[in-house]
Amino acid sequence: MTLLHVHDYGGDGPQLVLLHGFGRSFADWDASATVLTAGHRVLGVDLPGHGRSPGISPWNIPTVVQHVADTLDAHGVPEAVVVGHSLGGLIAVEYARANPDRARARAAVNLDGFWWGREYPGAERVTEGLLASAGAIAPPEYIEEQVIKSGRFGIPADRAEDAARAAAHPLPNGKWQTLPERAAALEILDELHRIGAPGVTTWLDGVDRPLLLVQAGRQLPPAPGMEWFGEFNARFARGVSDELAALSRTRPTITVNRIDATHLMNLEAPEAVATLVTGFVRGLPA
């Protein structure tokens, strides 16, 4: 059994478990959790190989789902709404799939956790870029660089710095080991492509627990020379939006929403994210 690192934010009420995105940590949820604890008991979990959680090999989603379940059992959480951002959103949905009754998963929230298969047009170019930086050793000024980048999205410097430090390990020479380390990062990318390959509609087939599926309302601006990625991302988002709209009309357990933020929504608009999650949980069957 592998137990993951948990941060107990406290609070009282329905249980919420918060999962972060690829290369991040529970600290991305700090600002949202402050709001959520007004009506919920809130736990943040570092996924395997991220933050302060141990690594696993191989890194695959069924194993991660089981580790999350074991960790919640160890913390006395028999039933929860699992809320995930990006990679964490994918895992939240898979957690709901693995627990088709309320014994563990009351519902799941997926915040912009959608991916593409390897055959999706342009995916090969995106994957090359991701592989080049996976598990990289970053320079000593890495944290400061992350704070500057985050500032472009209106993320306060203190929030950005705390999140950046929690998502990497300092090295004795002053550099930073970005997480997850390379071997795990490559396995995670394989899992993302596997889940993304059939498309959103097919992926969600068979998940019967209530789902809140949220897309970013604004696209991340591409870096100079990366305009092609902006086009790729916008095209993919439109396709996902069309599929989600169709699903919401035919499957009453699926709720679809959009938030006025970029993919970095839980850092960029934590209060809006918390409000959306709170409203969804309030509307769940007792």
In a domain? residue 158: no
pLDDT of residue 191: 97
CA distance 274 to 268: 12
Q: Backbone phi, then psi, for 119, in 5-degree steps?
A: -85, -5
109 pLDDT tier (thresholds 50, 70, 90): very high
Longest dimension (CA), the chain: 56
In a domain? residue 14: yes
Name the residue among 106, 156, 148 with its Cα closest to residue 269: 156
- Residue 222 reports pLDDT greater than 80: no
pLDDT of residue 221: 82
In a domain? residue 207: yes
In a domain? residue 227: yes
CA distance 100 to 195: 19
Q: Which range has the worst mean pLDDT, 103-117, 125-139, 214-228, 255-269?
A: 214-228
In a domain? residue 197: yes
Q: Residue 26 is part of a domain; what is its CATH number?
A: 3.40.50.1820
CA distance 168 to 150: 16
- Residue 274 reports pLDDT greater than 80: yes
Name the residue among 177, 178, 228, 211 with its Cα closest to residue 280: 211
Element at 88 (helix H, strand E): helix 87-98
Q: How many domains does the chain have?
A: 1
In a domain? residue 148: no
By the 10 Å C-beta count (0-12 exposed, 13-18 middle, 19+ buried), 63 is classed as middle
Q: Which domain holds residue 90?
A: 6-117+182-282
SS3 169: strand
Q: Backbone phi, then psi, for 181, in 5-degree steps?
A: -65, 165
More confident residue, 225 or 92: 92
